[in-house]
Structure 1
Amino acid sequence: MTVRGHWFLSPRTDYTVAVQTASKQSDGNYAVSEWSEIIEFYTADYSAVHLAQLLEKAEGVAGRMLSFSVFYRNQQEDYFNKTRETQDNRMLPAVKDNSGSHGSPISGKLEGIYFSCNTEFNTGKPPQDSPYGRYRFEIQAEALFNTKTNLYFGDFYCMYTAYHYVILVLAPEGYPGDLFCKGRLPALDISDNRFLTCTQEEEEGRLVFHHAQDVILEVDLALGSVEEIQGHQLSSMSTINAKKDPSCKTCNISVGR
């Protein structure tokens, strides 16, 4: 009698495997083998196939497109004070943390700066509340997202809540971040996708921007104003190093986390 099995292996994980077999003999007893040699291996990031599956799931929950005009970044006051006083008014890129899907190729590897672009449907403006801090930096969308920018899908996940997050990467064409993403992440058409678009009006030629409702977009970007927001700091919604819910059927694929 032969029994075969298989395992669903998680990405980016160290495994140590040894095998022992048992075969049933004609007399009804089992002959048990010695343990095999121990094999150690490490699984890779999500492949293009896995990311395509994740992208399809994300597209399935993205809602109607809403217009927006600014990207924004919320932080504590100390963050912006440090930016002014020690970094020559520059927000420096940092390596993407390990929040989201365990196998995302950008986690722990891609350098960038997180921005958001979500708006309140009734005002068309950024939400007053934030999980990251009471101070907000805003920049006009066209300064970061235009015809010389490439757009990539990076991740789709949730954190044991009803909210789902889509990570997108905006990369100036030909820059190191763009070269990193090519071949690793699904490229999106900037004028025709389900999450974030930049189109040009035929008459006036100005750029128009839209984002998807029903998912929270976080955009990793490689100028503007800082103001204190009027709402609350919702720390429970922070995605910093947040772990993905492995049981969610909406944002998980068969390969694992």
Structure 2
Amino acid sequence: MMDPQSSLNSLQLCDSEATEAADGSIDLPVPQKILISNISCDSFKISWDMDSRGSERITHYFIDLNKTENKSSNKFKHKDVPTKLVAKAVPLPMTVRGHWFLSPRTEYTVSVQTAGKQPDGEYAVSQWSEVIELCTADYSTVHLNQLLQKAEAIAGRMLPFTVFYRNQEKDYFQQASPSYRSRDAQCHRMLPAVKDNSGSHGSPISGKLEGVFFSCNTEFNTGKPPQDSPYGPFRFQIKADVLFNQNTNVYFGDFYCMYTSYHYVILVLAPEGSDGDAFCKGRLPALDGSDNRFLICTEEDDGSLSFRHAQDVILEVVYTEPVDLSSGTVAQISGQQLMSQSTVNAKKDPSCKICNISVGR
């Protein structure tokens, strides 16, 4: 028998010839009570019970692994012949791993059959087990640190800035705005809203973290915010030190592109001890607010704070607490709405070598 760890290298796509069963003359036990454990963004462990009768004839396990969304149709499958992962029979539990067929935060169905390889190279197989559903996990901090390192490599030099800004449609900033769930019209506040599913598929903040999105990038020639925006012609501006100061923790959330030459970095600004801060601790890499490659706040000799942002990435900053509109100003911008730059539910380019890591999108 092989060592369990060696099974990691035994999983491979089975070719069409190997998937066809022999005459079934060997009675092989059917896997029962499938148990899935240790689920990560690109692996899981699987074990099961089975009758000992005929178990000595088992040489391989066939694992049918499918994305739930593709249950009804899969153009890569021959009719009635499932695409299997093939592993030599090893002690259970067995680890199923592979970035090329497992994606983060994705639902799969799994079923198993035992197989015995015959002298002619064909397989005798058991019946399929029950079908089990699982969902792979978010990126771990290890994976996020890999993304962070890739983002740091292209961040570029730092440029000064003085304000954070947020663009929206005019109605968003008006007192009565019942159509915007992220606005509290009565209290005149912008409220945290759940982040959409744009960016890396495995980012822990997508669909979970609540916050208010801001930008801080400036135009190289003016040092001021650009006059164009994909999110609306009205802009709320707030002094940088209101949101970012020495009581604010900074976390790295994501790094991605959308089939374009420019890349986005998502940072989270969370006041110390806030609910957002509690969410980020242990989930996201923490950055030194005064010494990182993306967004820094430094104290000058006179006690004032100065701010700089990375030049070569587009920063999306998530502030985790409500923001009073009275703490800033709202004015119409003179530029256009560049809808092609909107990141709302935007999908990450899975082929980009700059912003992808080995565990998928």
Tell me if both proteins adopt one fold, taking TM over 0.5 as the criterion.
Answer: yes
Q: Which residue in the other structure is 1:31 paired with?
A: 123
Q: CA deviation at 1:23?
A: 5.1
Change (3 A) 1:220 1:131: same
1:73/1:136 contact within 8 Å kept: yes
Q: In 1, Cα distance between the equivalents of 2:341 and 2:112?
A: 43
For the 8 Å contact 1:145–1:198, the answer to whether it is kept is yes
2:302 to 184, 189, 204: 204
After TM superposition, give the deviation of residue 99 of structure 1 in Å. 0.7
Is the alpha carbon distance of 1:189 and 1:85 closer, same or farther for their aligned partners in structure 2, counting shifts above 3 Å? closer
- Structure-1-length-normalised TM-score: 0.94
State the Cα distance separating 1:243 from its structure 2 match: 1.0
Between 10-19 and 239-248, the greater mean CA deviation after superposition: 10-19
Structure 1 residue 32: Cα displacement: 2.7
Q: Distance in 1 between matches of 2:315 and 2:184?
A: 30
Is 1:94 the counterpart of 2:187? The answer is: no
Give the structure 1 partner of residue 74 of structure 2.
none
Q: Which has the larger radius of gyration?
A: 2
CA-based RMSD of the aligned residues comes to 1.7
Superposed displacement of residue 108, structure 1: 0.8
Secondary structure of 1:10's aligned partner: coil
Q: Which runs of 5+ in 1 are unaligned?
A: none
**1:56 alignment partner, SS class:** helix
Match of 2:285 in 1: 186
The count of aligned residue pairs is 254
Deviation at 1:218, TM superposition (A): 0.5
Residue ranges of structure 2 left out of the alignment (5+ in a row)? 1-6, 13-96, 178-182, 322-326
Counterpart of 2:318 (choices 205, 213, 220) is 220
Instruction: Assess if the C-alpha contact under 8 Å between 2:184 and 2:191 holds in 1.
Output: no
Partner of 1:175: 274
Write out per-residue CA displacement over residues 161-215 of structure 1, whole angstroms, 9 at most, x where no aligned residue: 11110000000000100011000000000000000000011x2121110000110
Corresponding position of 2:11: 4
Distance 1:33 1:99 in 2: 43
How far apart, CA to CA, are the structure 1 residues paired with 2:225 and 2:251? 23
Q: Distance in 2 between matches of 1:230 and 1:251?
A: 33
Alpha-carbon distance between aligned partners in 2 of 1:70 and 1:4, rounded to the nearest angstrom:
52
Whole-Å separation in 2 of the counterparts to 1:108 and 1:77: 26
Once the two structures are TM-superposed, the CA of residue 79 in structure 1 deviates from its matched residue by 1.0
- Regions of 4+ moved over 6 Å: none
Give the SS at the match of 1:18. strand
Where relative contact order (Cα < 8 A, 6+ residues apart) is larger, the structure is 1
Which residue of 240, 243, 251 maps to 2:347?
A: 243
1:232 matched residue in structure 2: 336
- Equivalent residues of 2:118, 2:124 under 8 A apart: no
Kindly indicate whether the alpha-carbon contact (under 8 Å) linking 1:190 and 1:197 is maintained by their aligned counterparts in 2: yes
Q: Which residue of 2 is the match for residue 65 of structure 1?
A: 158
> Which segment is superposed worse, 32-41 or 148-157?
32-41
Q: Please give the residue correspondences for 1:67-86 in structure 2 after superposition, counting only pairs within 5 Å.
A: 67-81=160-174, 82=176, 86=185
Distance of 2:358 and 2:156 partners within structure 1: 24
Q: Which AA in structure 1 matches 2:329?
A: S
Q: Secondary structure at the match of 1:190?
A: coil
Q: 2:360, 2:121 → 1: CA distance?
A: 37
C-alpha deviation, 1:37, in angstroms? 4.1
SS in 1 for 2:221: coil
Scaled by the length of structure 2, the TM-score of the pair is 0.67
Does the aligned pair in 2 maintain the 1:22–1:30 contact within 8 Å?
no
